[in-house]
C-alpha cells in the first residue's frame, strides 16, 4: 500500500441508522422520494476514462412495484467496449497505483460524507429501483458508508505493516501493493452497499476498476459512481459500464489484462466466472484472482429448549426481510419435534400478519425484483406444495407489481428440492428434526455454507454449533441476516463462495499483494 505514515489511523465506528418511527425521518424520506421521482426516466451514459459514451443498445431499469415505470435508461456495454474500458483502466492504473495513501483514503471518506448528507435520496433510489422498504434501504446505504469508512481505516492499518522480525544489520519492510485492473460485478439485491464495498476496497488499495452493475439496478450504481466522481476520483480509476453478462461481462473476465474479478451473485454465474478466469489467455502473466460471494441455503435450528416466540420472530425476520432476496436469508427452519407443532402454529399466525404493499409507503414486504424471478419463485412454490404441506401464502399477491405472498411449507424432507435449491424469494421450508444431532446434520446437508443460526439455551449445544455448524457466519439466539460491518465479517464456505469476509479486517488482503523488502544497513 502507499508509502507514508504521516497521519494516525482514524478509528472506525459504525454509522447509526435512522428510526423512521420518528416523524422528522419519515418526512425526510417522503420528501426524498418525491424529489427522486422527478428524475425517473433519465438517461445515463457509459463512463470510460472520464468520457461519456452513448450506445445503440439500452438497458431500461424499472420499478418492480410498478413495472410500467422506468427508473433509468442506461447505455448497454457490449464486447466491443471491453477493450476501451480496459485501456482506460490500465492507463489510470499507471498513476493511481502510486497515489498517496491520503488521496485514496480521502476519496473514500469524502464519498462516505456525500452518502451521509444525501442518505434519504440514496434510500429513495433503492425504494424505487429494487423495491426495498425504507428500513431495508436505510440498512443498505448505512452499510455502504460503513464499508467506505472501514476500508479507509484498514488501508491506513496496512500501510503500517512491518515484518515480524527485523534481522541484525538489515531493515525489513512489508508493503501491500496494488494488483492491477479489477472487474467488479455486483448484484441487484444490495446494489449500493455491495457495489460500493467492492469498488471502494479496489480503489483504496491502488487498483483501477471496470464496474459492471446488475441490469436490475444500474441507476443506483450510477448515483454512487457520481458521488465518487464528486469526491475527487480521477477519470479511469472506476469505469461505469452496465452491460450484458454474456458479452461484455464474459469478455471482461476473459481479458488477459484483467487481474482479478470481484463478484457477488448466483452460484451458477460465480462458477462460470471462476472457470473462465482459470483459463490462461495469450499474453497473461499472472493467475487471475477471484473474489466470489455466491448463494446460500441458510438454516435456523430451533431446539427443544429454545424460546419459541423469539425463534419465530427471528425466522420471520430472516426469511421474509426484503422478500427473502438475500443470500443470507433463512430459507429453512429446522425445528425439534418436541416444539414443532407449537412453532408452526405461532409461525403461521405471524406470517399471516405480514403486510404487503408499496415500498414507498414503508410496508414491510414489497415486490420481488422482476418478472423472471416472480415466475421462478412461483414454480418453486408449486414444487413445495407437492413436497410438503402449505401453511401460509402460496400464490402471487394482488397488485400491478411483482408481489408474492410470504409462503411457508412444512413437513419438507431434508433432501427435497425445496430444502436444497436456492429460491431467493419469500418461501420458507420447515423441516422436523428428531433431536439436536439430527438438526445439525440437516443444517449441514446442503452444498452451501453461508449463514446459519441456532436457538437454544443449552451451553453445550451452543458450543457444538459453534464447532460443527459449517457456515461462514453463525448466530446464536438471533436471526441469520443482518451482518454488521466490522462486527460480522461476511462470507461463506463451499458453494457459497471464497469466504471473502467483506466488512472484515482482512478484506483488503484480497485486493492487494504483499511485497517483502530487506535493505542492508
What distance in Å separates the CA atoms of residue 12 and residue 147, rounded to the nearest whole number? 10
152 alpha-carbon distance from chain centroid:
19
Nine-digit cell string for 82: 471491453
What distance in Å separates the CA atoms of residue 322 and residue 333, rounded to the nearest whole number? 18
Q: Is 489 helix (H, G, I), strand (E, B) or coil?
A: coil
* C-alpha closest to that of 86 among 207, 209, 204: 209
Quote the DSSP letter at residue 3.
S
- Rounded to whole angstroms, what are the CA distances from 89 to 82, 249, 257, 337? 11, 15, 10, 57
Over 434-464, what HEC string results?
CCHHHHHHHHCCCCEECEEEEECCCHHHHHH
Count of C-beta atoms within a 10 Å radius of residue 287: 11
Rounded to whole angstroms, the maximal C-alpha distance in the chain is 77
Would you please indicate which residues are annotated as catalytic (active-site) residues?
293, 327
Contact yes or no for 406/426 (Cβ under 8 A) = yes
Nine-digit cell string for 53: 459514451
* C-alpha closest to that of 40 among 137, 138, 132, 128: 128
Beta-strand relationship, 451-455 and 66-75: unpaired
What distance in Å separates the CA atoms of residue 213 and residue 199, rounded to the nearest whole number? 11
Q: Which residues are CB-contacts of 258 (< 8 A; sequence separation ≥ 6)?
A: 86, 180, 181, 182, 183, 210, 252, 277, 288
Q: In the Cβ-directed half-sphere of 368, how many Cα atoms lie within 13 Å?
A: 25
What distance in Å separates the CA atoms of residue 220 and residue 190, rounded to the nearest whole number? 10
E strands, 233-317, are 238-240, 258-264, 289-293, 298-302
What distance in Å separates the CA atoms of residue 93 and residue 97, rounded to the nearest whole number? 6
What distance in Å separates the CA atoms of residue 478 and residue 462, rounded to the nearest whole number? 12
Q: Is 403 helix (H, G, I), strand (E, B) or coil?
A: coil
Burial environment of residue 4 by CB neighbours within 10 A (0 to 12, 13 to 18, 19 or more): exposed
Amino acid at each position: 500500500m502507499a508509502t507514508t505514515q504521516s497521519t494516525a489511523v482514524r478509528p472506525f465506528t459504525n454509522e447509526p441508522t435512522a428510526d423512521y418511527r420518528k416523524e422528522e425521518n419519515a418526512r425526510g424520506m417522503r420528501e426524498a422520494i418525491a424529489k427522486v421521482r422527478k428524475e425517473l426516466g433519465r438517461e445515463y451514459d457509459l463512463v470510460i476514462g472520464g468520457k461519456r459514451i452513448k450506445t445503440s443498445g439500452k438497458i431500461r431499469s424499472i420499478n418492480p412495484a410498478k413495472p410500467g415505470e422506468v427508473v433509468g435508461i442506461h447505455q448497454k456495454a457490449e464486447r466491443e467496449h471491453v477493450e476501451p474500458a480496459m485501456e482506460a483502466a490500465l492507463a489510470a492504473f499507471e498513476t493511481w497505483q502510486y497515489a498517496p495513501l491520503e488521496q485514496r483514503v480521502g476519496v473514500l471518506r469524502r464519498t462516505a460524507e456525500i452518502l451521509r448528507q444525501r442518505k434519504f435520496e440514496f434510500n429513495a433510489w433503492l425504494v424505487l429501483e429494487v423495491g426495498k422498504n425504507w428500513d431495508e434501504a436505510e440498512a443498505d446505504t448505512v452499510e455502504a458508508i460503513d464499508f467506505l469508512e472501514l476500508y479507509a481505516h484498514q488501508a491506513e492499518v496496512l500501510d503500517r505493516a512491518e515484518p515480524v522480525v527485523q534481522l541484525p544489520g538489515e531493515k525489513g519492510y512489508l508493503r501491500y501493493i496494488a494488483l492491477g485492473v479489477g472487474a467488479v460485478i455486483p448484484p441487484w439485491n444490495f446494489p449500493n452497499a455491495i457495489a460500493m464495498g467492492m469498488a471502494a476496497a479496489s480503489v483504496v488499495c491502488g487498483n483501477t476498476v471496470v464496474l459492471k452493475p446488475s441490469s436490475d439496478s444500474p441507476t443506483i450504481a450510477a448515483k454512487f459512481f457520481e458521488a465518487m466522481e464528486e469526491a475527487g476520483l480521477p477519470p479511469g480509476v472506476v469505469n461505469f459500464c452496465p452491460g450484458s453478462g454474456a458479452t461484455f461481462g464474459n469478455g471482461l473476465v476473459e481479458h488477459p489484462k484483467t487481474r482479478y474479478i470481484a463478484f457477488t451473485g448466483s452460484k451458477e454465474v460465480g462458477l462460470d466466472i471462476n472457470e473462465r478466469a482459470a483459463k490462461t489467455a495469450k499474453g497473461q502473466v499472472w493467475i487471475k484472482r477471484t473474489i466470489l460471494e455466491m448463494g446460500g441455503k441458510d438454516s435456523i435450528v430451533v431446539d427443544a429448549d429454545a424460546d419459541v416466540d423469539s425463534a419465530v420472530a427471528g425466522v420471520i425476520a430472516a426469511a421474509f426481510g426484503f422478500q427473502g432476496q438475500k443470500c443470507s436469508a433463512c430459507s429453512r427452519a429446522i425445528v425439534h419435534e418436541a416444539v414443532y407443532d407449537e412453532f408452526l402454529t405461532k409461525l403461521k399466525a405471524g406470517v399471516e400478519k405480514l403486510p404487503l404493499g408499496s415500498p414507498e409507503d414503508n410496508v414491510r414486504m414489497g415486490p420481488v425484483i422482476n418478472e423472471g424471478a416472480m415466475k421462478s419463485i412461483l414454480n418453486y412454490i408449486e414444487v413445495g406444495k407437492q413436497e410438503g404441506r402449505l401453511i401460509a401464502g402460496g400464490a402471487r399477491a394482488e397488485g400491478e407489481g411483482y408481489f408474492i405472498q410470504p409462503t411457508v411449507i412444512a413437513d419438507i424432507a431434508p433432501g427435497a428440492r425445496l430444502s436444497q435449491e436456492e429460491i431467493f424469494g419469500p418461501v420458507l421450508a420447515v423441516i422436523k428434526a428428531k433431536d439436536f444431532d439430527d438438526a445439525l446434520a440437516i443444517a449441514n446437508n446442503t452444498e452451501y455454507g453461508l449463514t446459519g443460526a441456532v436457538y437454544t439455551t443449552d451451553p453445550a449445544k451452543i458450543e457444538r454449533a459453534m464447532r460443527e455448524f459449517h457456515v461462514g457466519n453463525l448466530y446464536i439466539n438471533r436471526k441469520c441476516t443482518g451482518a454488521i460491518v466490522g462486527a460480522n465479517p461476511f462470507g461463506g464456505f463451499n458453494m457459497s463462495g471464497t469466504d471473502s469476509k467483506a466488512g472484515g479486517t482482512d478484506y483488503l488482503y484480497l485486493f492487494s499483494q504483499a511485497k517483502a523488502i530487506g535493505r542492508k544497513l
